[in-house]
A and B are shown apart, each in its own frame.
Chain A
């Protein structure tokens, strides 16, 4: 595994089949494309509205980027400060080099409680490391309590979006999944979103009141105070964080902010960018174990330090998982999230996943973009995703051995580096008129025609017509 400067790579749910193949399948699914177009169109309009309301959006964005850069530049110090603040209040802090180690820590903690079931707050980090599967291996059922995660779990499906994992499903598909998989559900359940939400409420109510171990992620960890922050909408997060006796929070090491004050920036940037609301319905902040709970925090690397080591790629770690880039991306809107094969789909996934795993294990993702740049425009922490994609394409290409394409490109570079040589070669291009009909160029000519070289070169025409 080659990652940047030989840093150890991350494992877990970060790779899939090559993007071009997966995308081709997705593009053939008309229902999926309709669902995605409708959902992303709705959210784009909402986001644009509430972002436009703030006269200081650009300044907030600049501050958000700078705060995260400060975190990344001094991550070791902030991690130590965070650990100190947590342990001084009685929270148990664990460190994990990779997905496997993080899963081992959590499963050991869960096993020690003797429970057969845990309730979960929606958490990208736990999807990334494949925690539910690891828990299943020790006979513990993880109950997803976020509505979209529940839809994915009951449908034995995979998440396709950072914020709304079931975005690829429409209401009648969700009704069918509930009718089929939800124990005790009303067989006459309709596809009214209200009725579906009510069915989920009833289904989970008993779990909230009885299951004694919860697993969460965190949107932010404040190094200065040891506070953890979970931003959510439904109240399932509050239920999980409040009622169980044991709370285990799995947190990527880049989730820190240095100071309490920094939340004044992110609590404006995140809700407006993600759900297009002025503020999300619920944000929970807890500092140390609360109301008699036992609290654990697992700090996870899993390829983040490898990402940090690349000065041209590390800004991907600024990401606050808002999903604005997914909702705006013309590629994502057509292929959906599954085509990216990683827990992190869309533009941010195309730059983050290859860096977490090493580009050799995700060589197609940096190419899953038209480089239109809308992802950069909407990013609340100003991650220059297009430039990063180009940088990662270079890393992918330079890591590969010579291919027909790279040989051709090298030959072209040689040809173009000298004006006279180039001129002579272009004249020869006429003969390409014959060749182009017969030479197939796989990958290049499947979706477009190879252009016919003209009979006369521009230079020849210019000279003859003067």
Chain B
């Protein structure tokens, strides 16, 4: 007999031997069920998130780009990754800031190089070389200026597709990319006010594959008011049929040393949430 058949046979034998087997009593579901508590309370949601020491910003819809930019700026993020399907405007503010900063930095660097070259060259080789260095510096600054604000600038935002082929070099490349990223930006599927929980659907384009939100040390999630539900049953109902999920409640944490909570072990050490109010 195969192990499968034997285990099943044992289960059936156990059922026969035990009195009251077969039909168990119907499950009493007298707890607060899905859909009975109205929409999630945004203030409670924010409070519960802060309880886990997550960073929270509550903004209007038109403030999202500014809020995301401010969050990433304060974090000092230089290279971010995002889920492929997030609305481009979420990161547009930050991208513009980066571009301005990059061109300014490039211009300043070029001028510095030119000045240094002129200083060094002048006494030794004479006016000619110094003039050439100045010219070069000027061209560098012009190039930088021309590139600023255009798509030509090397994109600091990597978008990770949701179907990443595993195996071989692609996998290595993905890991390297994620490890190099300072921050990840995604949306979410549903959020629970009572527990301060955010749930990602990894088949959704604006939430991305699982590794995306796991490897970078900082995770920024944009949650729309309409996605916030009151309790766990509401979230479970909203997640029926969603194949791959991650429920996130605050940053990674452990209580393994004397049962004292420490934030930040293997997952992102900082979780930041931008809650978008309904505009109506």
Contacts and interface: CB of A to CB of B under 8 A. Distances in A.
Nearest to A68: B24
A146 B256 contact: yes
A155 to B, nearest CB: 13
Contact of A281 (B7, B20, B267): B267
B165 interface: yes
A379 interface: no
B25 A200 contact: no
A99 to B, nearest CB: 13
Interface stretch (B80-88, B126-134, B238-246): B238-246
Contacts of B260: 42, 193
Given A236-B266, A280-B249, A281-B267, A148 B256 contact: yes
Interface stretch (A131-139, A306-314, A329-337, A407-415): A306-314
B6 interface: yes
Interface stretch (A110-118, A162-170, A360-368, A387-395): A162-170
Interface string A37-76: 0111011000000000001100110110011011011111
Contact of A242 (B17, B24, B214, B249): B214
A268 B232 contact: yes
Given A63-B29, A171-B257, A285-B244, A242 B211 contact: yes
Interface residues of B, number: 81
B240 A234 contact: no
B247 A238 contact: no
Interface string A218-262: 000000000100000111101101110100000001000000110
Nearest to A311: B18
A40 B258 CA distance: 9
B151 interface: no
B27 interface: yes
Contacts of B150: none
Contact of A235 (B34, B233, B265): B265
A153 interface: no
Nearest to B7: A301
A38 B236 contact: no
A301 B6 CA distance: 10
A73 B267 contact: no
A233 B265 CA distance: 9
A57 to B, nearest CB: 8
B3 A96 contact: yes
A52 B29 CA distance: 19
B107 interface: no
Contacts of A314: 14, 18
A250 B253 CA distance: 25
B28 A62 contact: yes
Interface in B23-39: 23-32, 34
A263 interface: yes
A5 B17 contact: yes
Interface string A154-198: 000000000010110011001000000000000000000110111
A7 B7 CA distance: 11
A291 B265 contact: no
Nearest to B165: A292
Contact of B258 (A171, A209, A236, A267): A171
Given A245-B167, A277-B249, A280-B249, A166 B10 contact: no
A69 B24 contact: yes
Given A197-B265, A245-B167, A43 B259 contact: yes
A300 to B, nearest CB: 9
Given A69-B25, A73-B15, A311 B20 contact: yes
A43 B29 CA distance: 28
B224 interface: no
Interface string B251-271: 111111111101011111000
Nearest to A312: B18
Contact of A147 (B3, B27, B197, B256): B256
A308 B256 contact: no
B40 interface: no
A309 B26 CA distance: 21
B3 A97 contact: yes
B78 to A, nearest CB: 20
A39 B194 contact: no
A273 B252 CA distance: 19
A204 B27 contact: no
In this complex, which of B6, B163, B254, B262 has the most chain A Cβ atoms within 10 angstroms of its Cβ?
B254
Interface string B1-16: 0111011101111110
A49 to B, nearest CB: 12
A64 B21 CA distance: 18
Contacts of B28: 59, 62-63, 66
Interface string B225-243: 0000000110111011011
B175 A209 contact: yes
A366 to B, nearest CB: 19
B244 A290 contact: yes
Given A59-B31, A204-B266, A278-B194, A305 B253 contact: no
A384 interface: no
Interface string B167-200: 1000000010001000000000000101111000
A279 interface: yes
Nearest to A66: B27
B36 to A, nearest CB: 10
Given A42-B260, A66-B25, A166-B256, A291 B7 contact: no
Given A56-B30, A145-B266, A287-B244, A281 B10 contact: no
B14 A309 contact: yes
Nearest to A241: B210
Interface string B86-112: 000000000000000000000000000
Contacts of A288: 243
B257 A174 contact: yes
A233 B2 contact: no
A79 interface: yes
Nearest to A122: B256
A281 B269 CA distance: 11
B18 A308 contact: yes
A260 B241 CA distance: 9
A73 B24 contact: yes
A291 B167 contact: no
Q: Shortest 3 CB-CB distances between A and B: which pairs? A: A235-B267, A292-B166, A235-B266
12 contacts: A70-B24, A76-B11, A166-B256, A193-B257, A234-B256, A242-B210, A243-B211, A264-B232, A282-B252, A305-B7, A311-B21, A314-B14
Given A63-B27, A174-B257, A205-B266, 10 more contacts: A4-B17, A43-B255, A75-B15, A233-B265, A235-B214, A242-B210, A261-B240, A264-B232, A278-B196, A279-B247
